Amino acid sequence: MMRNVEIKAKIRNLQGIVSKAKQLSKSDGEFIKQDDIFFKVPQGRLKLRTYENKAADLIFYNRPDGDGPKLSEYQICKFEEGSQISSLLSQALGVKGQVKKDRLLFLVGQTRVHIDHVEDLGDYMELEVVLSEDQTLEQGQEIAEKLMAELGVEKSDLISGAYMDLLLK
């Protein structure tokens, strides 16, 4: 399985964090529309992420729900067109819910910085420090905490769980 250290936070100042992410990544970022369908599974989380071009990623992951930097282990299976697998998984497993978002993606070193506008929730930021095989959780947490500080993210802004959890509340 692949691993990353992840945090999610509510955004207080959208323009400020986008500006800082542009500076740190030395780019304007990449705009991505995503439609995630979460399926009912006995452990972990399983979602089908569909893009505007109809391509899709089936993503299974395990991650604790605490706030702050946490380890996520995941696997991804890619599909050129996601509607058939979506229908099949919906019938076989049942749908837990759906998350639609507009994402601005920035790459800062080995970290994916996501600035997300989540339908029915608002604006959030997510960091994913993609770990190499020889990196420890602690090393990933250090990178995440340093980047949080550079982006101006406060510990009080951190959220636990996934967007799906927030929508279900």
Summarised one tens digit per residue, pLDDT across range 107-153 is 999 999 999 999 999 999 999 999 999 999 999 999 999 999 999 99
Amino acid identity for residue 18 in this structure: V
- pTM check: above 0.85: yes
Domain of residue 58 covers 2-168
Per-residue pLDDT tens for 24-45? 999 999 999 999 999 999 999 9
pLDDT at 8: 94
C-alpha 140/C-alpha 130 separation (Å) is 8
- Using the predicted structure, report yes or no on whether residue 68 has a pLDDT greater than 90: no
Per-residue pLDDT tens for 116-127? 999 999 999 999
Calculate the alpha carbon distances from 2 to 6, 110, 130, 150 in Å: 13, 13, 8, 26
C-alpha 37/C-alpha 21 separation (Å) is 28
Q: Find the CATH number of the domain harbouring 35.
A: 2.40.320.10
Q: How many domains does the chain have?
A: 1
